[in-house]
Structure 1
């Protein structure tokens, strides 16, 4: 089990970014396979670390958590066949019905994230109801000094202009009810990714996210 992310992973991703075509990829598939194996091994170690504060994470299979590097170009203007990153969902994905964690490895663009991304309408409504009814608890979590240090604000992606239907226009939590995702993101420097203690450091950051995830998931229990 590898406890670190090898610099070779970044070297491969940079080379792929310069040569995003099938011919180059097939000629250098060994570089991809070595990088993929390193990331999966690192994820195994990270999952073990995260199990110290969230035992449910231990159920995750690192290999299955890692997204495919092959892009679906059918409906995209960008016809490059490969992603230039390694991304892994640790219980979090688009349309998920539960909050979780996500890790994205890409030279100069790596990040850690947590929460729930673009949930379906019924799920989103339940989360909004929980925030509206228990605003003080929600604010206590996101305004926690340690949380604020890493996550100054929630993602504003696709935020509504008006309070959604079914909620009072004067709701004191109105600004949060406009959100369509409940996501926090911590951008990583390359040096943080390649740090020998990266797994332990990432786990500590994910642990800070856990109360936020727990709040979201509490609204979805038996729903």
Structure 2
């Protein structure tokens, strides 16, 4: 049942620690109630509370407890690491409420770290090409975006950046533009203090971050709107 987010349970992170130690279905089934009460159900509340806040702010991001949360079970079919469970739980809020859209808010509560990201993550070839072309042909617009994000305390993440300039962009000589064009993703992140996940103030924290990151969403959406649909 939906409810206002009041915080993750005090045993949310200890549960993940214990699950990581045991890593077996029997232990998980015995402790499923703890998982649901301390971690999964509060995460559903968080997603739906954020959806209400974003709707009021006209952010174009939404989700619900059924579609937005990723499973804690790992897909091990083609993985060398056969551990059955993740060390984290995560969720996405997107323009249509599914996990298939681009321009999203990603929230990750994990044993290793807690963070949120506003992301254009692994955009399809046509959209990624259009984003790179926008950087190359409208550098002033892109630099304004970067300056706006910097003023808000954010910067583009360089994870997964290509080592070489992609074909067709060898002519881009300015260092900042060349580095940006090598991105495979366009992402800004916000570190969440694990001690701060247990109260409702996390909602305000994530809304504030997403509002500060909105220029990245707007930039990508303007480009996406001109890319022909498959």
* 3-state SS of 2:40 partner: helix
2:162 corresponds to which of 160, 163, 167: 160
Structure 2: distance between partners of 1:177 and 1:140: 16
Q: Is the 8 A contact 1:86 1:106 kept in 2?
A: yes
Which segments of 5 or more consecutive residues in structure 1 lack a partner in the other structure?
Answer: none
Count of residues in correspondence between the two structures: 218
Are residue 29 (structure 1) and residue 38 (structure 2) matched? no
**Residues 195 and 29 of structure 1: is their aligned pair in 2 closer, same or farther, counting only changes over 3 Å?**
closer
Q: Distance in 1 between matches of 2:86 and 2:163?
A: 32
Q: Deviations over 1:46-101 (max 9, x none)?
A: 2212223334224x323210001111011112111111211001128xx9562111
CA contact (8 A) 2:156 2:186 kept: yes
Structure 1 residues 126 and 81: CA distance shift in structure 2, 3 A: same
**Corresponding residue for residue 183 of structure 1:** 187
CA contact (8 A) 1:97 1:119 kept: no
- Unaligned ranges ≥5, structure 2: none
Q: 1:109-167 deviations in whole A, cap 9, x for unaligned? A: 01000121112222210111112222222222222266552x2x322222122221222
Residue in structure 1 matched with residue 114 of structure 2 by the alignment: 110
Determine helix, strand or coil for the equivalent of 2:119. Answer: strand
TM-score of the pair, normalised by structure 1: 0.88
